Amino acid sequence: MTRVALIAHDEKKADLVEFAQDHEPQLQEYELIATGTTGKRLLEETDLDVERKESGPLGGDLMIGSEVAEGRLDGIVFLRDPLRAQPHEPDISALLRICDVHDTALATNLESAEFLIEGLQE
């Protein structure tokens, strides 16, 4: 089964929830994992089944990175705030590196997330 991780910086969580709501039928076909707070919002605001990892500041992004290293993820949507990211929020650089090493798709904005979800459908 296709497995996708969903992560968002604080200022982008609402965008990710809206993206998930707009693509709910497609996303229901996937195994979804998310960092703690993002996963909680997705569970509360959608009908999606989401496996929650730790929150980003507690290592959730690293847990997702280990899933990439183990070959357990087909893609990541990480909506980041390039202008106002807070020090406690997950850092994209480690995920970017592990995704490049393992040739795993990583979307960092809504437009690339659309392409990732559509590409996985094929």
Q: Which residues contact 54 (CB under 8 A, 6 or more apart)?
A: 35, 36, 60, 63
Q: Is 35 annotated as a binding residue?
A: yes
Contact 89, 10 (CB under 8 A): yes
Q: Is 65 annotated as a binding residue?
A: no
Q: Is 37 annotated as a binding residue?
A: yes
Of the candidates 10, 22, 61, 74, the residue annotated as catalytic is 61
Pairing of strands 105-107, 3-8: unpaired
Q: Is 38 annotated as a binding residue?
A: yes
Q: Is 23 annotated as a binding residue?
A: no
- The CA distances from residue 79 to 32, 34, 69, 70, 122, in Å, are 15, 12, 21, 23, 23
Active-site residue, 74 included: no
Q: Is 9 annotated as a binding residue?
A: yes
Q: Is 108 annotated as a binding residue?
A: no
Rounding to the nearest 10 degrees, give the CA dihedral for residues 29, 8, 89, 86. Answer: 180
The binding site for substrate comprises 9, 13, 35-38, 55-56, 88
Catalytically active residues are 61
The binding site comprises 9, 13, 35-38, 55-56, 88
